[in-house]
Amino acid sequence: MHNTKETLEYIHSDLWGPSRVPSRGGANYMLTFIDDFSRKVWAFFLKQKSDVFSAFKSWKIMIEKQTGKQIKYLRTDNGLEFCSDEFNRLCKSEGIVRHLTVRHTPQQNGVAERMNRTIMEKVRCMLSNANLPKSFWAEAASTACFLINRSPSVAIEKKTPQEVWSGNPANYSDLKIFGCPAYAHVNNGKLEPRSIKCVFLGYKAGVKGYKLWCPENRKVVISRDVVFDETAMLPNLSLKDSSNKENQKQVEHQINTESTPQVSTKIENRVASSPQYSIAKNRTKREIKPPKKYAEADLVAYALNVAEDIDANQEPSNYSEAISCEDSEKWMFAMQEEMESLHKNKTWDLVKLPKGKKTVRCKWVFKKKEGTPGVEEPKYKARLVAKGYSQVPGVDFTDVFSPVVKHSSIRALLGIVAMHDLELEQLDVKTAFLHGELEEDIYMQQPEGFTVSEKEDYVCLLKKSLYGLKQSARQWYKRFDSFMTSHDFKRSSFDSCVYLKKNNDGSFVYLLLYVDDMLIAAKDKGEIRKVKAQLSEEFEMKDLGPAKKILGMEILRDRKTSKLYLSQKGYIEKLLCRFNMRSAKPVSTPLAAHFRLSSALSPQSDDEIEYMSHVPYSSAVGSLMYAMVCSRPDLSYAVSAVSRYMANPGKEHWKAVQWILRYLRGTTDVCLQFGRTEDGVIGYVDADFAGDLDRRRSLTGYVFTIGGCAISWKATLQTTVALSTTEAEYMAITEACKEAIWLKGLFSELNEDLQISTVFCDSQSAIFLTKDQMFHERTKHIDVRYHFVRDIIARGDIVVSKISTHENPADMMTKSLPITKFEHCLDLVGVHC
């Protein structure tokens, strides 16, 4: 029964999300408010959960101004977005009574939950019927809310929410079919077309106009003068490679297939060979049947959104999809392999759940790895993953940090390998996290599809860590570390993931660990085989032979000339393909001098904000940053510049990112070249005074080489504003000397008797300041931590020397350079094509 007597007396609210696909405006969540009296719904589309409070506040002000009435009751769930301190304070100050649902009882907020489901069911059908990509879900949801508010509801005696809310009957004269072709009037010149073909996306709030999408220029258009063609739909606008016809064939095949019982029988027969498990026999291949009210012509349109994920990705998202898709046998085999591995490792014991204890849920994750066409078959992998987000801190876990080897350490080892012509091989640990010993009692539900017969109510008491648990990485590292130290390996005090062992003949064996990837280097292959044998006795290992690729970096060796090359050609080609820059025109430098980036270039107009919301700026900068960190010191300054505007990038910032991608387009073959050398660690440092146009902070840049090849580099803004060029250079020298001390310590542990590290700087005044122990007026404001370099230099640990600006490769880390100077800097640090 509908008992409320007044508008705004009772408000229902809920947050839907997260969406796998962000909307065109970057939204991941939908926030709804429903007035219990009129059942009118309002929807807000948010980028993150923390935006809920500001959305509620603005909506509350708007609604209360329109009606002259106050919100009395607010019903929500217990989500942190609704229970924050600021949210509670506002409700308390405004006299709003909160009604919160009991945990795990969403039915107590049934009005909002049902409304969200209704909206999203309409969204799926609307997108499917309009052949629009999933990224238009927010526009479809907004239109769905518009229609719901103008549709009769049983809860309000078959009146419409809009009529009950406003007292006036709804106007249906402007309603159009979502996604239909629309021709908007334009006036671009006397000889130009008078209209542009668009797609109808709904109704713009507060504007007497229609919201349209123009596929040609990929922009949203608001227009009143529109002619609609509601008898047709545009072709599929999806960004996927497969055509609409192919999708239709796949869906029709799923609906009309006659092989469903056979597939089901094969699965049951395979499972029957493992008697300890019982799988539900009634799970058969899904048969998608549209409601009777759908015509046969709409069959594909109805089913497309159901089968879209499986057909497009060819990877099931859960167990039910895995056993009902075409490759069900292969996925089932992959799951059985995973279960055998878990039981072999004695990962859990089946026990009754103790009173007061809660279980952690789990799920199956599936991945299909494509093999080489015509040579290697695709690999089907299934992984059982615990849902670690439900773990309680202090109860289910305490510490979670786990170290990984630094990229500088990897390059340092490669330098040593090339210098002494060592053997270099690679190992991989199978199911590495399963080897970690748990220190807490964690109970997990039995895996779906592999419930043990006659023990259905039992749970898994985990003895070993499992993928997905918060502490899995840490427990694996602790187990591996204890194993290595017990076999006479010494852990480096400068990098916790570098291990070394001295042999009887004075030679060394080196091992680097990055989660489950290992690099092993030694003078003799026999020593490497010995270490591999020891590791294989303790862990299940995969021998990858001579090192060829690690962390996306390709390792190439020329033993005749004692050269070793580190490249990211494959990664960069994928990067260019991902951002559609494979056919872009190459440029010669990472960032041209005409780019004067600042926050003043951030979006100002609504059109620019809308444009930038569809640009993958953060993703592109993050991808470039990984290339820079691994093997591309030439990108340091450019990536440092564009990464400052991640929060609010503008068109000019995006052009700078595209420029970097164009530079990569012409330098995919660039690599670091290591070779034989007698030189020690040499550093180069430079600073760009007040290079940041926003806060006038200076930029520190340094690069360290061994044998003329870069092993460590950095380009970053200084933490404080320097008052002079000398001060900026002085602070840069301090940062470089900190890195020099670390590198010198690392190489000394690796048994490399290197000369005293030299750091070259092109500022004579800054060098004098490092040697001057006198305290005077011009240095008293400098932070004490920058003065420690004086003690280091006085002890002779580090030597700071003058170098000509023209011979200082760190110059490219702090500013844009002409092509000739830039190429000379690359030669000085061993970056070659």
Residues 82 and 161 in one domain: yes
The answer to whether residue 234 sits within a structural domain is: no
Please identify, among 324, 343, 362, the residue that sits at the C-terminal boundary of a domain: 343
SS3 716: strand
Write out pLDDT tens, residues 474-487. 888 888 989 999 98
Q: Which of 262-276, 354-368, 751-765 holds the top average pLDDT?
A: 354-368
Residues 288 and 350 in one domain: no
What pLDDT is stored for residue 498 in this prediction? 92
In this predicted model, which residue has the larger pLDDT, 267 or 25? 25
- 218, 208 in Cβ contact below 8 A? no
500-527 in b/e form (b: 16+ CB < 10 A) is bbeeeeeebbbbbbbbbbbbbbbbeeeb
In this predicted model, which residue has the larger pLDDT, 647 or 288? 647
Residue 45: phi and psi, rounded to 5, are: -115, 120
pLDDT band at 218 (very low <50, low <70, confident <90, very high): confident
The answer to whether residue 235 sits within a structural domain is: no
Give the separation between CA 632 and CA 660, rounded to whole angstroms: 12
Give the separation between CA 761 and CA 726, rounded to whole angstroms: 11
The answer on pLDDT for 541 being more than 60 is yes
User: Total domain count for the chain?
Assistant: 6
Write out pLDDT tens, residues 97-116. 988 888 878 888 888 888 98
Please identify, among 502, 522, 551, the residue that sits at the C-terminal boundary of a domain: 551
The answer on pLDDT for 773 being more than 80 is no
Residues 120 and 216 in one domain: no
Angle, nearest 10°, between helix axes 260-272 and 328-344? 20
The answer on pLDDT for 508 being more than 80 is yes
Q: Which of 302-311, 368-377, 574-583, 794-803 holds the top average pLDDT?
A: 574-583
Write out pLDDT tens, residues 228-268. 888 877 666 544 333 343 444 343 333 333 333 333 333 34
Per-residue pLDDT, averaged over 12-30, amounts to 80
- 156, 164 in Cβ contact below 8 A? yes
Per-residue pLDDT, averaged over 153-170, amounts to 86
The answer on pLDDT for 286 being more than 70 is no
What pLDDT is stored for residue 446 in this prediction? 92
Residues 197 and 152 in one domain: no
pLDDT band at 488 (very low <50, low <70, confident <90, very high): confident
Residues 633 and 507 in one domain: no
What pLDDT is stored for residue 786 in this prediction? 60
Range of the domain at 73: 10-166
Per DSSP, helices labelled H in 131-278 are 137-148, 161-166, 244-256, 260-272
Residues 220 and 294 in one domain: no
What pLDDT is stored for residue 772 in this prediction? 66
SS3 799: strand
The answer to whether residue 619 sits within a structural domain is: yes
What pLDDT is stored for residue 627 in this prediction? 92
Residues 689 and 774 in one domain: yes
How far does the chain reach from its first CA to its final CA, in angstroms?
76
Write out pLDDT tens, residues 586-602. 999 999 888 888 988 88
Kindly write down the DSSP assignment for every residue of 474-535, as one continuous string.
HHHHHHHHHHHHHTTPEEPSS-TTEEEEE-TTS-EEEEEEETTEEEEEESSHHHHHHHHHHH
Kindly write down the DSSP assignment for every residue of 152-163, as one continuous string.
-BGGGTTB-HHH
The answer to whether residue 238 sits within a structural domain is: no
Give the separation between CA 481 and CA 479, rounded to whole angstroms: 6
What pLDDT is stored for residue 636 in this prediction? 92
- 701, 817 in Cβ contact below 8 A? no
Q: What radius of gyration, in Å, describes the C-alpha atoms of the chain?
A: 32
Give the separation between CA 547 and CA 528, rounded to whole angstroms: 12
Give the separation between CA 510 and CA 424, rounded to whole angstroms: 9
Residue 711: both structure tokens together: 């092993």
Give the separation between CA 378 and CA 368, rounded to whole angstroms: 7
The answer on pLDDT for 827 being more than 80 is yes
Per-residue pLDDT, averaged over 150-175, amounts to 86
pLDDT band at 203 (very low <50, low <70, confident <90, very high): confident
Among 22-26, 127-131, 197-201, the range scoring the smallest mean pLDDT is 22-26
The answer to whether residue 62 sits within a structural domain is: yes
Residues 404 and 431 in one domain: yes
Residues 279 and 360 in one domain: no
SS3 541: strand
Among 284-288, 315-319, 640-644, the range scoring the smallest mean pLDDT is 284-288
The answer to whether residue 279 sits within a structural domain is: yes
Question: Where do the DSSP E strands lie in 314-386?
Answer: 348-351, 359-360, 362-369, 379-386
Residues 521 and 494 in one domain: yes
The answer to whether residue 589 sits within a structural domain is: yes
What pLDDT is stored for residue 165 in this prediction? 86
Give the separation between CA 734 and CA 326, rounded to whole angstroms: 61
Mean pLDDT of the chain: 81
The answer to whether residue 2 sits within a structural domain is: no
What pLDDT is stored for residue 155 in this prediction? 86
pLDDT over 90, % of the chain: 18
Tokens 């059109």, located at residue: 607
- 418, 562 in Cβ contact below 8 A? yes
Residues 594 and 683 in one domain: no
The answer on pLDDT for 642 being more than 90 is yes
Q: Do the bridges between strand 219-223 and strand 97-100 make them parallel or antiparallel, or are there none, so unpaired? A: unpaired
Residues 650 and 761 in one domain: no
Write out pLDDT tens, residues 369-384. 765 555 567 788 898 9
- 578, 623 in Cβ contact below 8 A? yes
Among 47-56, 131-140, 641-650, 743-752, the range scoring the smallest mean pLDDT is 743-752
pLDDT band at 216 (very low <50, low <70, confident <90, very high): confident
pLDDT band at 765 (very low <50, low <70, confident <90, very high): confident
Please identify, among 517, 551, 585, the residue that sits at the C-terminal boundary of a domain: 551
Give the separation between CA 238 and CA 350, rounded to whole angstroms: 47
The answer on pLDDT for 569 being more than 50 is yes
What pLDDT is stored for residue 784 in this prediction? 56
